[in-house]
Amino acid sequence: MRNDLWRLFSWLGVAFGFPWLFLVLLPYVKQSSAAPVPYAESDEAGFVAYPDPNMVRAGASDYGAEIYRREGCAYCHTQMVRPTYAGPDMWRPGWGGREEEGLARETRPEDYIGEGYAQLGYQRIGPDLANVGTRLTDREKLHIQLYNPRANTHESIMPGFRHLYRLVPADGRDAALKLEGKFAPEEGFVVVPTPEAEALVDYLLSRRKDAKLPASIRPAVAEAAPAEAPAQ
């Protein structure tokens, strides 16, 4: 009986051990030790390495990442741009990054270095946010999007994250959101962002996964180069 049990256990362990080791553990370890790839002189990138070490966990956006996580944004937003053979993501204006500058591309593992957990997302009920920082640069608009999405887009089903904002008496503050018409707060009051909201907006502005790739790793993505995406 004893032997039976151990034999069964061993086989079950082997059956599971293989994928556990080769699919999960080794790629994980390999990725955790991945170092930024230095740019060559000829890349003319303006940074020392890809991904830009300064962009990795830039200041306040770190706290913003926590807010993004806590609020569950990833249940509606992805941060993953698929190559053209896997979906038309890059054809959507701005999703792949700055097209005019020839930088739009699909996202790569290195783009997420330092994030701990890449918010690739569960569903795409709202737009992909991998490069939202390159296409929405207006803080004010982002705050309004978070406070009351319907003030930006009438048909939006994004929930408003009111608890990240405070309704305060209007005494000449200039940090208040410009909400007009039926979205305006009651007379004599204004809506101001909390530090959480500011951090979250910093985080959104830091979503720019379109850094130019060093020539040394570029061939790997050559077949999905954004050049083939139709002009906007």
Partner 1 sequence: MSLDLNQATPEDIRERAAIDRSVRYPVLFFFTSAAAWLFVATLLGFLSGLKLRVPTLWEDCPWLGYSRLFPVHMLALVYGWAMQAGLGVMIWLMARLTRNELKNPVTVIVAGHLWNAGVAVAVITVWAGLGRSMPWLDFPVWVAPLLFIGYLMVTLWLIPMFRARRAGEVYVSEMYLIGAALWFPWIFATANLLVGDEGAATMSTGINAWYMSNLIYFWFAPVALASAYYLVPKIAGRPIHSYPLAQVGFWALAVLAGWTGFQRYVGGPFPAWIPAVSGAASIFIIVAVVAAGANFWFTLRGRQKLWEYSPTLRFTLFGVLMFLAYAVLSGVSSFFSLSQVLQFSHFVVGLDTLAVYGFFSMAAFGAIYYIVPRITGCEWPSPTLIRGHFWFSTYGIGTVVLTMLVGGFAQAGQMNQWDQAFVRSVEVANGWIVGRIVAWLLIAAANLGFFYQLALMFIGRGRRSAGPTLIHAEPGSVGSAEEAVALAGAGGHH
Copy the structure tokens of residue 173: 């503050």
- Nearest distance, CB of residue 157 and partner 1, angstroms: 5
Q: Under the criterion CB under 8 A, does residue 231 sit at the interface with partner 1?
A: no
Which spans of this chain sit near ligand HEC (rule: CB under 6 A)? 68, 71, 73, 75-77, 125-127, 132, 136, 142, 145-146, 149, 152-153, 156-159, 161, 200, 204
Q: Contact 194/213 with Cβ under 8 angstroms? A: no
Q: Under the criterion CB under 8 A, does residue 153 sit at the interface with partner 1?
A: yes
Cα separation of 212 and 224, whole Å?
A: 14
- Nearest distance, CB of residue 73 and partner 1, angstroms: 6
- Nearest distance, CB of residue 154 and partner 1, angstroms: 8
Q: Under the criterion CB under 8 A, does residue 228 sit at the interface with partner 1?
A: no
Choose the one of ligand HEC, partner 1, none that binds residue 57, judging by a C-beta under 5 to 8 angstroms depending on kind.
none
Cα separation of 76 and 123, whole Å?
A: 5
Choose the one of ligand HEC, partner 1, none that binds residue 132, judging by a C-beta under 5 to 8 angstroms depending on kind.
ligand HEC
Closest to partner 1 by CB, 34 vs 40, is 34
Q: Contact 142/205 with Cβ under 8 angstroms? A: yes
Which string of b and e fits 167-184 if b means at least 16 CB within 10 Å?
eeeeeeeeebbebeeebe
- Nearest distance, CB of residue 136 and ligand HEC, angstroms: 6
Residue type at 147 in one-letter notation = Y
Q: How far is CA 34 from CA 31, 85, 114, 181, 231, in A?
A: 5, 26, 10, 51, 34
